[in-house]
Amino acid sequence: MIYGERIRLRRNERSDLPKFVEWLNDPEVRRYLSMSLPISQANEDGWFENMLKRPPEEQPFAIEIKDGDDWRLIGNCGFFEIDRRAHSSEVGIFIGDKSCWNQGYGTEVMRLLLQIGFGTLNLNRIFLRVDAANKGGIRAYEKAGFVHEGRFRQGIYRDGQYEDMLFMSVLRSEWKPEKE
């Protein structure tokens, strides 16, 4: 487990999959993700099996928050497409539990991912792509230290229209680790 102030990251388990299917079939949750169609339990089972074949650094984490004496699953995050030569990786996150939106969990998750990426995986650059319309996501990434580095004009097509996609990143030299 990797603990933050209010969250913890752990490896995904097969038992998490029904909750992911529920969330990913909600158009509002799926709105800013790279998927545009609903999924089945069989789709998610296949994703899980393929995920287990990836290197450990590229296997995503479940995001949990403290809920009384227990922990409650609220989403998923991780690194993917790690470029070992350039020491660079893309990160991704989704918080599926809508009751947890706009409460700072996304920022805290991104700060933990930066800590893992720079402190454990020896990365030099961590980047992400985000829809220009995803104001909450952009705000969370900025608070975590990500800076804007580019815009793909009309780079995505969603809900019958073209939208811009932003690229944001943090370099190791810009990273300010959280003080203990």
Residue-level pLDDT at 134:
93
Residue among 164, 100, 116, 111 nearest 140 (CA): 111
In the chain, the domains with their CATH numbers are: 2-127 (3.40.630.30)
Amino acid type, 170: V
- With vertex at residue 166, the alpha carbon angle to CA 2 and CA 59, rounded to the nearest 5 degrees, is 30
Q: How many CB atoms lie within 10 A of CB 134?
A: 17
List pLDDT tens digits, range 36-63.
888 999 999 999 999 999 999 999 999 9
List pLDDT tens digits, range 94-105.
999 999 999 999
List pLDDT tens digits, range 103-135.
999 999 999 999 999 999 999 999 999 999 999
